[in-house]
Chains A and B, each alone.
Chain A
Amino acid sequence: MIRSDKLVRSLWCWLLLLPLVVVVIFPLAVMFFTALKPASEIYVYPARWLPQQWQWSNFSAMWTQTGFGRALLNSLLVSLCATVLTIAVSVPSAYALARLKFRGQGGYRQFLLITQMISPVLLVVGLFKMAASLPWFDGGNMTDSRLSVVIAYGAFGIAFAVWMMTSYFETIPRDLEESAWLEGSGPVRTVFKVFLPLALPAMAVTALVTFVNAWNEFAVVYTLIRSTEKQTLTVLVTNMVAGQYVVQWELVMAAAICAVVPVAILFAWMQRYMVQGLTAGSVK
C-alpha cells in the first residue's frame, strides 16, 4: 500500500521534472552525437540526431590537431596552483573568524563580502594593465604568464573559501580542543593534531569548488593569456569556434566532452556536501 503510494509520487515527480530534464540533457546529447559524426555529416540539412557513421576517431583527431593535451596540462596546473594558494591563505583566516574574537572582525567580514561582489570581469581592463606593468624574469611583463592567472584566481577565490570554511569551522565542537588544552597540549599542537583533522572535509570541499571555478573561468585567462602554448581548455575550445571560417564542430564537441566529463563526475560526487555546506553557512 505504502509502496504504491511512493510509486505514484515518483511518477508525478519525474513528470514535473521532465521539461527541465529535457533541457539539461539536450545540450549534452548534442555534444555527444556531434562529437561522433564524421565531418561530412556536420553541415547537412536537415540535421539529424544520430550519426550515420559513428566516428570514434574524432577524439584522437581532436587530441592531435588541437593541442588538447597541452591545454589540459595548463588547466590542471593553473587550477591546482590557484587552489593551493587560496586554501593556504584562507584556512588561517577562517580559523581566526571562527575561533577568535577580535576588533575589526565584522569589518573584515564586510570587506570579504564586498570583494565577493567585485567580479574579475569588472577589473579585467585594470588587471591587464597591472600584468603589463609588472616586470617578469624573461625581460617582458606578466601578461601572457600563467603565474598572473594563478595569482588572480587565487585572490578571487578567497572570499568564497573563507566564507565557506568559517561556516563549517563554527560547526566543529570546541570540546575536543578544550580537552586537549586541559591535557597540556600547546595551542599550535592542538590546531594541527585536533582541529585541522576535523576541518579536513570542509577544506577538501572548499578546495574542490575553488578548483572547479578556476578550471571553468574564462574572462581573465582569455584576456591575460595570448600564446597558444599557455592557453587553458576554456580558451582553447573557444578559439576553435571564434573567428574560424568553417568550424569543425565534431572536434569542438569532442574537446568539450573531454573538458567537461572529469568535472561533471567530481561535481556529482561533491554536490551533496555542497548542500550541507551552504546550509551550515546560511542558517546563522
Chain B
Amino acid sequence: MQNPVRGPALAWGLIAPSLLLTIFILAYPLSTLVFQSVHDISRFGLLRAFNGLDNFRTVFTDPVFAHVVWRTVQWTVCVVGGAVLCAVPIALILQQDFYGRGVARTIVMLPWAVSLTMTAIVWTWSFNGQYGMVNASLAMVGVIQEPINWLADGQLAFWVEVGVGILVSIPFTVTIFLGGLSSVSQDIYEAADIEGASRWRQFRRLTLPLLKPFIHMAIVLNVIYVFNSFPIIWIMTQGGPDNATHILVTWLYQLGFRMGRPGEAAAISLVMLALLLAFTVFYLRLQKRQSAKAAA
C-alpha cells in the first residue's frame, strides 16, 4: 500500500529546511574562499587587489608546502591503516563470549568519549620530556635510561601524534566492525567447523570476505576524518618544532590565523576540497561498481 500523501512537493517540502541550512553554511564560506584565494588580502582582512593565481603560486612554491603535503599523506595512510589493522583483531576478540566483555567493550570505546582536544592535552603532558609520566613509566620498567624529549624533535613528535591518532580512531572503527560481525550468522562457522576448516582458514575464507564492505566503509570514513583532523597536531605541537609536524589543515590554520595570510590559507582550503572531492568521486564510482557486481 502506498503512502496516502505523495508527490514531490511534499518530499521537497520536508527536505527544504535541512537542504537550505546546509547550503547556507557551505555556499557562503565556499564562495568567500574562492574570492579570497584569488585576491591579495592583508592580515586584517582588507582586500587589496585581484591577483589571479598568485596565492596558489606562493603556496605551491613555498618549500614547506611539499613537506606538509607528504606529511599529510603519511599521516592519513598511517593513522587509517593503523586503526583498521588494530581494529579487526579487537573487534574479533570483543565478538567472543567471555567474562567481562561488557567492561572490555566500554574500555575500548572510552577514547571516543574523551574529546580529541582533551586527549591531545593529556598526552602533551604525558609526553613531557622531564616531568611526563611516559618517560617516568618507561624508566620504571627499565626500557629507557635517559628521558626522551618526545615533542621537541619534529620527527619523533610526528610519530607520537600518529600513535595518538590511531588510538582515538580505534573505537569508531571497532564499532563499525562489530556491527558487521553481528550481522554474520554463526551457522556458517558451525558448518566450517564440521568440515574441519582451521581457525585461520575460517578467518581468511569467511570472516574477512564478510567484513570487506565494512572495512571499505571504515577506510573511507576514516580517511575523511583523519585527513581533516586538526586538534591533535595543533594542540600537541602547533605544527612545530620548525614546521616539522604540520599537515594541511594545521598549515592552513597557521597561515590564515597566525601568520596573517588568509589568501594563501583559502588557496590551501580549496586544494584540500579538490582532493576530498576527487576521493568522493572515486569512492562513489567504486561503490557503484561494487553494487553492480553484487547485482550481477
B257: contacting residue among A42, A162, A223, CB under 8 A: A223
- Residue in chain B with minimal CB distance to A262: B113
Closest Cβ–Cβ distance, residue A237 to chain B (whole Å): 6
The listed residue with most A CB atoms (<10 A of its CB), out of B33, B176, B179, is: B179
Q: Any chain B CB within 8 A of the CB of A275?
A: yes
Contact across chains for B11 and A96 when beta carbons are under 8 A apart: yes
Known A-B contacts A129-B32, A234-B115; the reply to A17 vs B132 at CB < 8 A is no
Determine the chain A residues whose CB is within 8 A of the CB of B235 once the complex forms: 238, 241-242
- Residues of B within 8 Å of A, CB-based: how many? 104
Q: A187-B3, A218-B115, A274-B175 are in contact. Are A264 and B29 (CB under 8 A)?
A: no
Q: Which of A23, A122, A158, A223 is in CB contact (< 8 Å) with B21? A: A158
Q: Which of B242-296 contact A (CB under 8 A)?
A: 249, 252-253, 256-257, 262, 265-266, 269, 272-273, 276-277, 279-280, 284
Instruction: Please report the C-alpha to C-alpha distance between residue A216 and residue B3 in the assembled complex, in whole angstroms.
Output: 40
Chain A residue with the shortest CB-CB distance to B31? A126
A125 at the interface (CB under 8 A from B): yes
Residues A114 and B280 in contact, CB atoms below 8 Å apart: yes
Quick check: is A164 within 8 A (CB to CB) of the other chain? no
A89 lies within 8 A of B276 (CB)? no
B148 at the interface (CB under 8 A from A): no
Q: Cβ of B32: which chain A residues have Cβ within 8 Å of it?
A: 125-126, 129-130
Task: Give the chain B neighbours of A241 by CB distance below 8 A.
Answer: 121, 124, 235
- Cα distance, A116 to B22, chains bound together (Å): 10
Give how many A residues have a beta carbon under 8 Å from the other chain's beta carbons.
111
Proximity string of chain B (68-91) to chain A, C-beta cutoff 8 Å, 1 when within and 0 when not? 000000000000000000100110
- Chain A residues with CB below 8 A from B45, complex form: 129, 132
Interface check A1, CB cutoff 8 A: no
Contact indicator A115/B22 (Cβ below 8 Å): yes
Most buried by A among B22, B31, B93: B22
Given contacts A279-B182, A282-B180, are A129 and B29 in contact (CB under 8 A)? yes
| Contact A216/B176 with A31-B122, A267-B112 known, Cβ cut-off 8 Å | no
Asked if B192 is an interface residue, CB under 8 A from chain A, the answer is: no
Q: Is the CB of B14 within 8 A of A93?
A: yes
Assess whether B12 is interfacial by the CB under 8 Å rule. Answer: yes
Query: Which residue numbers of A lie inside 8 Å of B, CB to CB?
Result: 6-7, 9-10, 13-14, 16-17, 20-21, 23-31, 34, 42-49, 85, 88-90, 92-93, 95-97, 99-105, 108, 110-119, 121-130, 132, 151-152, 154-156, 158-159, 162, 174, 177-178, 181, 187, 212, 215-216, 218-219, 223, 234, 237-238, 241-242, 247, 249, 252-253, 256, 259-260, 263-264, 266-268, 271-272, 274-276, 278-279, 282-283
Known pairs A17-B90, A46-B139, A278-B179 / 14 extra A-B pairs, C-beta < 8 Å:
A6-B97, A6-B99, A20-B107, A20-B108, A42-B131, A47-B136, A100-B3, A112-B22, A115-B22, A152-B25, A247-B125, A266-B113, A282-B214, A282-B217
Q: Which residues of B pack against A, CB within 8 Å?
A: 1, 3-8, 10-12, 14-15, 17-19, 21-22, 24-26, 28-33, 36, 45, 86, 89-90, 93, 96-101, 104-119, 121-126, 130-133, 135-137, 139, 167, 170, 175-176, 178-180, 182-183, 213-214, 217, 224-225, 228, 230-231, 234-235, 238, 249, 252-253, 256-257, 262, 265-266, 269, 272-273, 276-277, 279-280, 284
